[in-house]
Amino acid sequence: MVSDVNARILVVEDDRTIAMGIEYSLQQEGYNVTVRHDVASAEQSLSDSSYDLVLLDVSLPDGTGFDLCRTIRSRTRTPVIFLTALDDEVNIVMGLDIGADDYVTKPFRVRELISRIKSVLRRATPVPERTTNITLRDVVIYPDQARVTKQGRDTPLTTMEYKLLLTLASHRGQVLTRSQILEKLWDVGGEFVNDNTLTVYIKRLREKIEDDPQSPLIIETVRGLGYRAGGSHATDEKS
C-alpha cells in the first residue's frame, strides 16, 4: 500500500521558483521529492528510479507534459497529476484522455495540491473488494493483482480506468448513476472534479476493453440513468 509518509514524488516543473515552493511544501508533508525542470532529465529519472506519483507541468522547455505523460503511460500506471496554467477544458480533457489521473490549475493553494496528491495516492492503492476474479464476457479482472486481461492478454489500464472498471464490475447488472460513480472514484477530492471527466474515462475504457466501442456490451449506457457493467453475461470464477 502506498503511504503518504516517504511516498516518492517526481516534480517536473520548469519554473524554478514554483518548483522550489512545491518541493519544500511536499517535504514538509513527509514526501520524498525529486525535482526536474525539463523532459530530458525527467525521462532519465524515470528510467533510473520508480515513483509513486508524478506532478507534471504542461509547458516544458524541450517538449510538453503531454508527451512525457504518454511516455509514462507506455511503461507504467504511476499516477500523474498535471500542473497547468491553462484553465481550459480542451487542455484539461486532453491531459485526462492520454492517461493523467488529475489536474491542478495555477495559481493553486498548497493545501489543495496536497489534498489532490493524497487522494490520487489513495486511489492508486489496490484495495480488493472481493476474493474472486470477475469475468465480463472476454474481460477478466484480477482484484488481488489490480490486473485486467482481454481474451487472455494483459490490458494495461490507468489507475482511474482500472478503478472505474472495478467499480462497475463490482456492481454488475446494477445501474450506477454518474454521481454514484464519481463518489466512489474521487472520495474526498470529489469537490474538485468536473463531471465531464467521467465521460472521458468511460470512452477510454471502452476503447481498451470493448470489441466495438461504439456498440459497447461490457459497459452499457442506460439512457437517462447511468451505466451498467456486463448485464447477465457476467460471471465469477475462483481466484
The CATH number of the domain where 25 resides is what?
Answer: 3.40.50.2300
**3 in a domain, yes or no?**
no
Q: Based on the domain organization, do 119 and 155 belong to the same domain?
A: no
Residue 149 neighbours by CB under 8 Å, 6+ apart: 139, 140, 142, 155
Q: Within a domain: residue 198?
A: yes
Q: 88: part of which helix (H) or strand (E)?
A: none
Q: Classify strands 226-229 and 234-238 as parallel, antiparallel or unpaired.
A: unpaired
Torsion angle defined by CA atoms of residues 144, 145, 146 and 152, in that order, rounded to the nearest 10 degrees: -110
Q: Specify if 96 maps to a domain.
A: yes
Give the model confidence (pLDDT) of 174-209 as tens digits: 899 888 888 777 653 444 445 677 888 899 999 999
| pTM score over 0.95 | no
Residue 102 has pLDDT above 90, yes or no: no
Does the residue 38 lie in any domain?
yes
Average pLDDT of the segment spanning 44-60: 92
One domain for residues 199 and 99: no
- Between 144 and 64, the more confident residue is 64
Q: Which of 58, 91, 124 is the last residue of a domain?
A: 124
Q: How confident is the model at residue 7 (pLDDT cuts 50, 70, 90)?
A: confident
Give, to the nearest 10 degrees, the angle between helix 159-169 and helix 178-186: 130
Backbone conformation region of residue 146, classed left if phi is above 0, alpha if psi is from -120 to 50, else beta: left
Same domain, 109 and 164: no
Beta pairing class for 80-84 and 53-57: parallel
Domain range for 167 is 132-238
CATH code for the domain in which residue 234 is found: 1.10.10.10
Residue type, 146: A
Domain boundary residue, one of 95, 124, 153: 124
Helical H runs in the chain? Answer: 16-28, 39-48, 65-75, 89-97, 110-124, 159-169, 178-186, 196-209
